[in-house]
Amino acid sequence: MTQLSTALKGGITPEMEYVAAREKLTAEFVRQGVAAGTIVIPRNIRRQNMSPTGIGKGLKTKVSASVGLYGSKGNIETELAKIRTAVEAGTDSIMDLSVSGDIDAMRKESLTATMTPLGTLPYYQAVAQTAQKYGSSLKMEVEQLFEVIEREAADGVDFMALHCGTTMSAVERAKQEGRLDPLVSYGGSHLIGWMLHNRRENPLYEHYDRVLDIARKYDVTVSLADGMRPGCLADSLDGAQVQEMVVMGELVRRAREAGVQVMVKGPGHVPLSQLKATVTLQQSLCQGAPYFVFGPVVTDIAAGYDHISAAIGGAISAWAGAGFLCYVTPAEHIGLPDVDQVHEGVVAARIAAHAADLAKGLPGAAKWDLALSRARKALDWQKQIDLAIDPGRAEKIKKTRSDDSVAGCAMCGKYCAMEIVAKYLGTARVSC
Ligand code: SF4
């Protein structure tokens, strides 16, 4: 029985108990969320040694880091180092989005390299395999695609991004609307190329029941990926994106009826003014299914700093109701991230997630900030460093940019406001 089926019958799984303990909530709260579909706990029944993580309403906002083999320079060791870096930086999940090389080996290594939930996008492997075998991914047979989905599920993948809602009618609408960047989703663009070339409907939509059968067999959480993801602000919230979201809403309902946990993947590139509307629309059309947004970046001009642009969008999206933030690294739109950029991307996404949890008034979220504020007032530098979201970065700056001759820091030196306030207002520095 899947976790969703168990929850619907009033049962509480060990995963629900584990998530409840981590979130300091009751197991019944988590069960109700899973039963309603507003919380998912991605955990394949074949997955060994992992820490179940809850995503969705009433839980802390989660972040995900993506790694994978790309092009001729990709190698498994480098990507495993990125996984370790992302986990150390506090990611809640990893996605292996390999598109080339030994994808099976990469997935298996990834599953043992982290205790976090692991997600994949099987269409990538289907594309790579078909291109290798026939010279073109356009020759992919539907059976090959489902063979890959089953193989990845049998290996223990906890959640899968699948473009099941990218229908021919949404593609036609995108063509009519004259998008600036028609398609930017890697998997979506290959899938749509296949659909147009072969003049066939999306097999993941046409055979959705088969997708659900595999997902139910291994209790894989389906992440409905958005092939119509806008690739620039100018295309945000257009008809093609909304049309796909309407279809995703139907697919969410069918997944739940089949006992399969489901979340919905989202943009991408969204202007600040449309963030709330985008999340509200998704939550309404997809009946509160957790929203897994990619950033989103709020301006197209931040190349080199897209992790900051994404953190702005991620914070507001999560405040509006998105439960899961896919990180964006400083290398986004330019190249593959190195380990340092992976670290920066995870930290930026975590700041966004925490800022949203504070704004939502999530129980306990403010405690962390309060503790750091007290340490700051007390000029307790070690405690400030320990409590910082990235202690290593804080410590490095303190060591290299400090002025040991003053109690404060090198910023105001002997005119440290904390010192002055303590001296003249009698609010002696307090120890936390
Ligand atoms: S010197 Fe200025 S910046 Fe540094 S701790 Fe004191 S008040 Fe803060």
Domain range annotation of the chain: 3-359, 365-424
The average pLDDT across 76-88 equals 98
Q: What is the pLDDT of residues 295-341, one digit of tens each?
A: 999 999 999 999 999 999 999 999 999 999 999 999 999 999 999 99
pLDDT digit string (tens) for 346-365? Answer: 999 999 999 999 999 998 99
For the CA of 376, the closest atom of ligand 1 is 5
- Kindly state the percentage of the chain with pLDDT values over 90: 85
Residue 431's pLDDT band, with cuts at 50, 70 and 90, is very low
Rounded CA separation 109/311 (Å): 29
How many C-beta atoms surround the C-beta of residue 28 within 10 A? 12
Q: Is the CB of 418 under 6 A from ligand 1?
A: yes
Residue bearing the CA closest to ligand 1, atom 5: 408
Average pLDDT, integer, range 100-117 = 96
| pLDDT value of position 428 | 52
**Choice among 55-64, 85-94, 232-241 with the minimum mean pLDDT:** 232-241
191-212 average pLDDT score:
96
The more confidently predicted of residues 363 and 85 is 85
How is residue 348 written in tokens?
Answer: 């930026």
- Torsion angle (degrees, nearest 10) of CA 252, 216, 93, 294: -30
pLDDT at residue 100 above 60? yes
Given the structure tokens 């704004």, which residue do they identify?
359
Q: What is the pLDDT of residue 429?
A: 52
Q: Which two tokens stand for residue 14?
A: 């060990």
Q: Tell whether ligand 1 has an atom less than 6 A from the beta carbon of residue 428.
A: no
pLDDT band for position 408 (50/70/90)? confident
Ligand 1 contact via 412 beta carbon (within 6 Å): yes
Quote the pLDDT of residue 425.
Answer: 78
Amino acid at 298: V
Q: If pLDDT is split at 50, 70 and 90, which confidence band does 424 have?
A: confident
Look up residue 246 and give its two tokens. 């309407």
* Predicted confidence (pLDDT) at residue 87 exceeds the cutoff of 70: yes
Three-state DSSP class for residue 222? strand
* pLDDT at 345 exceeding the cut of 50: yes
Nearest-atom number in ligand 1 for the CA of 413 is 1
Which of 121, 70, 104 has the alpha carbon at shortest distance from 227? 121
Supply the residue whose CA is at minimum distance from atom 4 of ligand 1.
409
Read off the DSSP letter of residue 297.
Answer: B
What's the rounded Cα separation, in Å, for the pair 322 and 276?
10
**Distance from residue 371's CA to the centre of ligand 1 (Å):** 17
Half-sphere exposure of 125 (CA within 13 A, CB side): 26
pLDDT in tens, 260-304: 999 999 999 999 999 999 999 999 999 999 999 999 999 999 999
Contacts of the segment 385-392: beta carbons below 8 A, 24+ positions apart = 389/90, 389/347, 389/350, 389/351, 389/354, 390/89, 390/343, 390/347
Per DSSP (E only), the strands in 69-140 are 93-96, 118-120
Mutate to test the pocket of ligand 1, among 412, 421, 423 (most ligand atoms within 8 A of CB): 412
Whether the per-residue pLDDT at 189 is higher than 90: the answer is no
Q: What pLDDT shows up at residue 90?
A: 98
**Does the domain at residues 3-359 carry the CATH identifier 3.20.20.540?**
yes
Identify the pLDDT of residue 174: 87
Distance between CA 56 and CA 38 in Å, rounded?
Answer: 6
Q: Is the CB of 76 under 6 A from ligand 1?
A: no
Q: Is 80 in the pocket of ligand 1 (CB under 6 A)?
A: no
State whether the beta carbon of 416 lies less than 6 angstroms from ligand 1: yes
Under the banding of pLDDT at 50, 70 and 90, the label for residue 187 is: confident
Average pLDDT over residues 92-112: 96
Please give the Cα distance from 175 to 205 (Å, whole number).
20
Ligand 1, closest atom to CA 419?
6
Answer yes or no: is the C-beta of 417 below 6 A from any ligand 1 atom. yes
412 Cα to the center of ligand 1, angstroms: 5
Q: Are 84 and 116 contacting, i.e. CB atoms less than 8 angstroms apart? A: no
Residue nearest to atom 6 of ligand 1 (CA): 416
Residue nearest to atom 3 of ligand 1 (CA): 411
Ligand 1 atom index nearest CA of 417:
7
- Evaluate: CB of 408 within 6 angstroms of ligand 1: yes
What does the mean pLDDT of the chain come to? 94
88 vs 331: CA distance, rounded Å: 19
